[in-house]
């Protein structure tokens, strides 16, 4: 049964949910969102490309954050 708040159909509640992976791997916000958008690509709005672009956005943001933090330590 689909729960529109906690377990919408596009969360793939019949399999492993992204939230469980994010928690198990202790991913931060950016990497967690990337995993979320990859795992649910095309399921909510039927726009797989847009979801994958969102994942790329969060991965690129994480890379920039790491680079910025690395420069600040130098």
pTM, full prediction: 0.78
Residues of the domain holding 56: 9-73
| Residue 32 to residue 12: CA distance in whole angstroms | 16
Q: Is residue 48 in a domain?
A: yes
Q: Is residue 28 in a domain?
A: yes
Q: Tens of pLDDT along 33-62?
A: 999 999 999 988 889 999 999 999 999 999
Q: Is residue 49 in a domain?
A: yes
Percent of the chain with pLDDT over 90: 66
Q: Is residue 1 in a domain?
A: no
Q: Is residue 4 in a domain?
A: no
Q: Is residue 51 in a domain?
A: yes
Q: Is residue 50 in a domain?
A: yes
Q: Count of domains in the chain?
A: 1
Percent of the chain with pLDDT over 70: 81
Q: Identify the pLDDT of residue 63.
A: 98
Q: Is residue 2 in a domain?
A: no
- Which residues, 6+ apart, have CB-to-CB distance to 54 below 8 Å? 33, 37
Report the range of poorest mean pLDDT among 12-21, 46-55, 58-67.
12-21
């Amino acid at each position: 049964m689909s729960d529109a708040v906690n377990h919408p159909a596009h969360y793939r509640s019949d399999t492993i949910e992204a939230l469980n992976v994010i928690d198990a791997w202790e991913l931060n916000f950016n990497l967690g969102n990337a995993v979320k958008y990859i795992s649910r690509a095309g399921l909510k709005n039927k726009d797989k490309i847009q979801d994958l672009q969102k994942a790329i956005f969060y991965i690129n943001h994480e890379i920039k954050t790491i680079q910025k933090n690395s420069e600040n330590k130098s």
